[in-house]
């Protein structure tokens, strides 16, 4: 039973993730076809940080892009397959949708042609089926992908295998099947508990399906670990509605909660489009589609910041750790797969538009099906080679900062200083000093205990042993997290002046 094998890691902060360290520069070519050529720029690389043995990825992301329809806020690479009946979505109708079958074939080809980074047999610890709506994909096909991954890279004894599921796209049997083939973590895309909100953001399900889905997930034998995904700051969302959603979430007792703040993306239905019509020399008509952040019907900045704070408060009260800007978990149930991202560790990725990070190179696959298919073909033919965008020290430092500061563990100053130089670490700290004083940033000691801000100043004065007392800095919860972009972009300014 996978359930029993699942590692119940200890409580935060005692549960220490490995330190976030910069990835060494690509030492070898992208692990793809055997004939791919080595890019010349990989050999003449800038001084690399203290070299660590190149880590072999132990995570894999698999993109399953199919959705019934595109949600109004979504700009992911997806394929909308519609619902044939137009009534309640059937759970079987898509099973033999040729588009899904064809796509999974393509996926399997990509997996087959992707070479493991190292031969020492580091197996996969996490697999994440994201989408899209992966729950639309028949479990057999999911199993086929898992089998392929296992065959190619190996699966550890107790891997975390997550799948994103949307209410209304699965029944108990389907979930059981998925669990049966090895899925042990579900990320349930609930988003809201209000009918009108779900409708206005174009979700393909209603509140009834939400409750039904929660019932199926909680009742599913062999599934202990599941996440409830919510979106805050939806159009017309009020504080009461948000409180209600959080209450329902806590009541459903998921092990994990993801709270995403609505991002208005260009090109989405919510995205902003202005059309200026010149009717006459002096008559301008401004036609505006879509929403502007902070402007009705979207909650104002103040309301939306408040939603964030409420979530942090309510979920903490209910025993969840706010371990990353938008992630909460019951002790020991942090998403191991996502931690790979935050810890700047390598990962494989497969499928349309997915992004991998292998040998220090981040690569995003084509977002269009046709181009993706052609890309897979080239990969097989050995005619594709990754143009090595040699990420320099600055870029690596930025990655480390932006990823680690998203987490509650924060940035490891000593390791940062070792990798990128003491002077950069110092100027970063100097830039952050006023924010340590104002409480947006928290200095922590080796044990990740918060330190009074004076200690931070003292440590800074004493340049010689930066990090002697202050070992980590993190953004405070919720105020620092809420201004993460500002703070991180400040750090970027320090890294790349």
Partner 1 sequence: MATATASRLAVLAPRPLAPSAGRRRHAPAPGGAPSRPRALSAAPRGRVLCLAAPASAAASTTDAGQDRLQKVPISNIRNFCIIAHIDHGKSTLADKLLELTGTVQKREMKEQFLDNMDLERERGITIKLQAARMRYVVNKEPYCLNLIDTPGHVDFSYEVSRSLAACEGALLVVDASQGVEAQTLANVYLALENNLEIIPVLNKIDLPGAEPDRVAQEIEEIIGLDCSDAIRCSAKEGIGITEILDALVTKIPPPKDTSKDPLRALIFDSYYDPYRGVIAYFRVIDGSIKKGDKICFMANGKEYVADEIGVLSPNQMQVDELYAGEVGYLSASIRSVADARVGDTITHYSKKAAAALPGYSEATPMVFCGLFPIDADQFEELREALEKLQLNDAALKFEPESSSAMGFGFRCGFLGLLHMEIVQERLEREYNLNLIITAPSVVYRVNCADGETVECSNPSLLPEPGKRRSIEEPYVKIEMLTPKDYIGPIMELAQDRRGEFKEMIFITESRAKIIYELPLAEMVGDFFDQLKSRSKGYASMEYSLVGYRESQLVKLDIQINAEPVEALSTIVHRDKAYSVGRALTQKLKELIPRQMFKVPIQACIGTKVIASEALSAIRKDVLSKCYGGDITRKKKLLKKQAEGKKRMKAIGRVDVPQEAFMAVLKLEKEVL
Binding interface with partner 1 (CB under 8 A) = 61, 63, 76, 128, 130, 259-261, 263, 301-302, 304-305, 308, 325-326, 338, 340-341, 347, 349, 354-355, 357, 362, 364, 398-399, 402-403, 434-435, 438, 440, 481-490, 492-493, 496-497
| Rounded distance between C-alpha atoms, residue 348 and residue 62, angstroms | 9
* Minimum CB distance to partner 1, residue 163 (Å): 13
| Rounded distance between C-alpha atoms, residue 419 and residue 397, angstroms | 8
Q: Which is nearer to partner 1, 56 or 354 (CB)?
A: 354
Structure tokens at 75: 């700009």
Q: Are 356 and 348 in contact (CB under 8 A)?
A: yes
| Rounded distance between C-alpha atoms, residue 3 and residue 363, angstroms | 33
* Minimum CB distance to partner 1, residue 492 (Å): 4
Q: Are 256 and 217 in contact (CB under 8 A)?
A: no
Structure tokens at 162: 């997550």
* Minimum CB distance to partner 1, residue 430 (Å): 12
Q: Which is nearer to partner 1, 198 or 441 (CB)?
A: 441
Q: Which is nearer to partner 1, 216 or 325 (CB)?
A: 325
| Rounded distance between C-alpha atoms, residue 95 and residue 83, angstroms | 12
Q: Which is nearer to partner 1, 40 or 302 (CB)?
A: 302
* Minimum CB distance to partner 1, residue 130 (Å): 5
Omega before residue 132 within 30° of 0, cis: yes
* Minimum CB distance to partner 1, residue 110 (Å): 15
CA 374: distance to chain centroid? 27
435 phi/psi in degrees, rounded to 5 = -85, -20
Q: Which is nearer to partner 1, 86 or 267 (CB)?
A: 267
Structure tokens at 355: 């992004």
The neighbour count for residue 352, using CB atoms within 10 Å, is: 27
Q: Which is nearer to partner 1, 201 or 325 (CB)?
A: 325
Q: Which is nearer to partner 1, 83 or 312 (CB)?
A: 312
* Minimum CB distance to partner 1, residue 186 (Å): 16
* Minimum CB distance to partner 1, residue 266 (Å): 12
Which positions ≥6 away from 72 have C-beta within 8 Å? 200, 201, 202, 268, 269, 270
């Amino acid at each position: 039973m996978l359930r029993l094998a699942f590692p119940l890691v200890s409580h935060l902060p005692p549960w220490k993730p490995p330190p976030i360290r910069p990835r060494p520069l690509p030492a070898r070519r992208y692990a793809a076809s055997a004939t791919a050529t080595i890019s010349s720029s990989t050999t003449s690389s800038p001084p690399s940080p203290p070299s660590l043995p190149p880590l072999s990825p132990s995570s894999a992301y698999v993109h399953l892009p199919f959705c019934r329809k595109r949600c109004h806020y979504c700009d992911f690479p997806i394929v909308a397959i519609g619902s044939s009946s137009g009534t309640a979505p059937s759970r079987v109708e898509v099973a033999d949708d040729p588009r899904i079958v064809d796509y999974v074939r393509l996926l399997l080809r990509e997996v087959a042609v992707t070479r493991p980074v190292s031969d020492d047999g580091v197996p996969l610890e996490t697999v994440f089926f994201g989408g899209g709506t992966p729950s639309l994909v028949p479990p057999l096909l999911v199993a086929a992908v898992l089998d392929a991954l296992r065959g190619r890279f190996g699966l550890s004894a107790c891997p975390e295998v997550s799948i994103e599921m949307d209410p209304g796209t699965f029944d108990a049997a389907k979930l059981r099947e998925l669990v049966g083939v090895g899925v042990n973590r579900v990320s349930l895309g609930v988003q809201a508990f209000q009918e009108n909100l779900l409708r206005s953001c174009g979700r393909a399900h209603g509140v009834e399906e939400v409750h039904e889905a929660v019932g199926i997930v909680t009742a599913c034998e062999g599934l202990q670990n599941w996440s409830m995904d919510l979106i805050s700051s939806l159009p017309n969302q009020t504080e009461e509605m948000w409180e209600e959603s959080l209450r329902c979430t806590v009541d459903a007792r998921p092990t994990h909660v993801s709270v995403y703040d609505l991002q208005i993306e260009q090109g989405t239905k919510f995205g902003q489009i202005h059309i200026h019509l010149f009717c006459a020399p002096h008559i301008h008509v401004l036609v505006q589609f879509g929403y502007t952040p902070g402007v009705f019907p979207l909650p104002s900045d103040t309301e939306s910041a408040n939603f964030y704070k409420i979530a942090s408060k309510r979920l903490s009260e209910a025993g969840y750790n706010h371990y990353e800007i938008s992630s909460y978990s019951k002790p020991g149930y942090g998403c191991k797969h996502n931690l790979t991202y935050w810890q700047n560790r390598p990962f494989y990725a497969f499928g349309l538009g997915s992004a991998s990070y292998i040998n220090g190179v981040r690569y995003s696959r084509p977002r269009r099906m046709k181009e993706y298919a052609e890309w897979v073909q080239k990969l097989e033919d050995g005619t594709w080679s990754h143009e090595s965008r040699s990420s320099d020290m600055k870029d690596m430092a930025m990655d480390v900062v932006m990823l680690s500061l998203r987490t509650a563990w924060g940035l490891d100053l000593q390791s940062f200083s070792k990798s990128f130089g003491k002077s950069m670490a110092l100027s970063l700290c100097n830039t952050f000093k006023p924010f340590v004083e104002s409480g947006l940033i928290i200095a922590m000691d080796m044990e990740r205990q918060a330190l009074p801000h004076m200690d931070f100043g003292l440590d800074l004065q004493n340049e010689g042993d930066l990090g002697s007392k202050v070992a980590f800095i993190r953004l405070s919860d919720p105020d620092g997290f809420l201004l993460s972009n500002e703070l991180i972009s400040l750090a970027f300014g320090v890294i790349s002046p």
